[in-house]
Amino acid sequence: MHPTTAPTIRVHGIHKKFRHHHALRGVDLEVASGEVMALLGPNGAGKTTLVKILTTLLKPDSGSAVVNGWDVSSEPEKVRSSIGMAGQFATVDGVLTGFENLCLVARLRGMGGRTARRVADDLLARFRLTEAAGRPAGTYSGGMRRRLDLAAALVGSPPLVILDEPTTGLDPEARLDTWEAVGELVTGGTTILLTTQYLEEADRLADRITVIDRGAVVAEGTSDHLKAGAGQRLVLCVADDAQLAPAVRALARATGTEPEVNRRAHRLEAAVTDGSAVLGRALAALDDEGVDVLEVGLSRSTLDDVFLALTGKGVTQAPTGKGAAQPAVNGARAREAR
Ligand SMILES: Nc1ncnc2c1ncn2[C@@H]1O[C@H](COP(=O)(O)OP(=O)(O)OP(=O)(O)O)[C@@H](O)[C@H]1O
Ligand SMILES: [Mg+2]
């Protein structure tokens, strides 16, 4: 972060309505030069709407947005030529080859033929697409298309890259590839705004996270800052099935909320705000109920707790292969299964 330089993105009081639906309700956002900002929110939160405004594809109803020093409403061409963008849905042309796609973007960005071809070759190599360079992009796997899309966003080395859900729908390997590519950009000093529904993605890639829900920013800060604000988790493991009911009673009494129960693991968890005091009460209550405790303790909150605390929405699991699960924010609550 360079506190002395002007922010790369400065959004103030943006409103956007679609007919009767208020998609953005006064959003403020600042992204510093060289920073990675994750815009984290569930389906329909307004992420793509904000991205479209920042990339000049949509006009805000009110409020202002300045990108790389240019106002999106009065100087949209300047904004467009100063950013790289990869959308939620891949924009590469399936009929053109990978090489042709990148050359086309380079020519549209004003490069001469020879420079365009060199830039295309370099980017194809960087995203491990050299072998597939001569094939129509329509024959690429989902992960390859995303990589090509990301490569297209980097033509001309823009100082700011905006990525709308760069890994949604990707398999675990392709997701890791994308994370690596984003990591390389970061090392190169590129400022990045990325939207995501995946808590892990925000946690892993971003310097700061802005949580957006129903068109409004509900929290902003580093992952650690957000987690600290959400308190802690009380975790308890009991010996067998018979201990679960009394343990639930004890924790409910000590914490004032129903704990989440994983029956198979004989494990109970509850989000708590005053950890040490609650732990003392919980131990006393467990003793009262005569519960056979195997393990009890406090742990730091996770980003899912943060999201739950902020929006009342839990997480669902996006499959990441081999039985692994990655939490994504969503309206449905599916914690019991975890
Ligand atoms: N062109 C449009 N016309 C009408 N409503 C729209 C339009 N675009 C978006 N919306 C509505 O605005 C809200 C915000 O949509 P947006 O696409 O910005 O959400 P999002 O956070 O990107 O969600 P997702 O994670 O599903 O991509 C949604 O309720 C959506 O239905
Ligand atoms: Mg979207």
Q: What is the pLDDT of residues 171-218, one digit of tens each?
A: 888 788 888 888 888 888 899 999 998 888 898 999 999 999 999 999
- Separation between Cα atoms, residue 79 and residue 54, nearest integer Å: 8
**24 C-alpha to ligand 2 centroid (Å):** 13
Nearest CA to ligand 1 atom 7: 18
- Separation between Cα atoms, residue 163 and residue 84, nearest integer Å: 8
Ligand 1 pocket test, pick from 14, 16, 18 with the greatest ligand atom count within 8 Å of Cβ, gives 18
CA torsion 73-53-71-152 (nearest 10°) is -120
Fold (CATH) for 229-329 = Alpha-Beta Plaits (3.30.70)
Quick check: CB of 255 below 6 Å from ligand 1? no
**300 C-alpha to ligand 1 centroid (Å):** 33
Stronger pLDDT, 89 or 201, i.e. the higher one: 201
Q: What is the mean pLDDT of residues 160-166?
A: 92
In the three-class reduction of DSSP (H, G, I as helix; E, B as strand; rest coil), residue 89 is classed as: coil
**259 C-alpha to ligand 1 centroid (Å):** 34
**277 C-alpha to ligand 2 centroid (Å):** 41
- Separation between Cα atoms, residue 235 and residue 86, nearest integer Å: 40
pLDDT for the residue 53: 96
pLDDT over 80 at 119, yes or no: yes
pLDDT for the residue 319: 38
- Separation between Cα atoms, residue 50 and residue 70, nearest integer Å: 16
pLDDT for the residue 173: 80
**Radius of gyration over alpha carbons of the chain, in Å?**
23
User: For 60, phi and psi rounded to 5 degrees?
Assistant: -75, 155
Which residue shows structure tokens 């990108």? 67
Ligand that comes closest to the CA of residue 42: 1
* 9-227 and 229-329 have identical folds: no
User: For 8, phi and psi rounded to 5 degrees?
Assistant: -70, -35
**233 C-alpha to ligand 2 centroid (Å):** 31
User: For 165, phi and psi rounded to 5 degrees?
Assistant: 45, 65
Ligand that comes closest to the CA of residue 39: 1
pLDDT over 90 at 36, yes or no: yes
pLDDT for the residue 313: 64
- Separation between Cα atoms, residue 97 and residue 132, nearest integer Å: 8
Q: In CATH, what is the architecture of 9-227?
A: 3-Layer(aba) Sandwich (3.40)
Q: Domain extents for the chain?
A: 9-227, 229-329
β-strand pairing of 70-71 with 62-67 = antiparallel
Nearest CA to ligand 1 atom 17: 48
Q: What is the mean pLDDT of residues 276-287?
A: 92
pLDDT for the residue 301: 77
Nearest CA to ligand 1 atom 5: 18
Quick check: CB of 49 below 6 Å from ligand 1? yes
Determine how many CB atoms are found less than 10 A away from the CB of residue 256.
12
Summarised one tens digit per residue, pLDDT across range 320-335 is: 443 334 445 543 333 3
Q: What is the mean pLDDT of residues 87-94?
A: 74
pLDDT for the residue 89: 63
Q: What is the mean pLDDT of residues 2-7?
A: 66
Q: What angle do CA 254, 259, 264 make, to 5 degrees?
A: 130
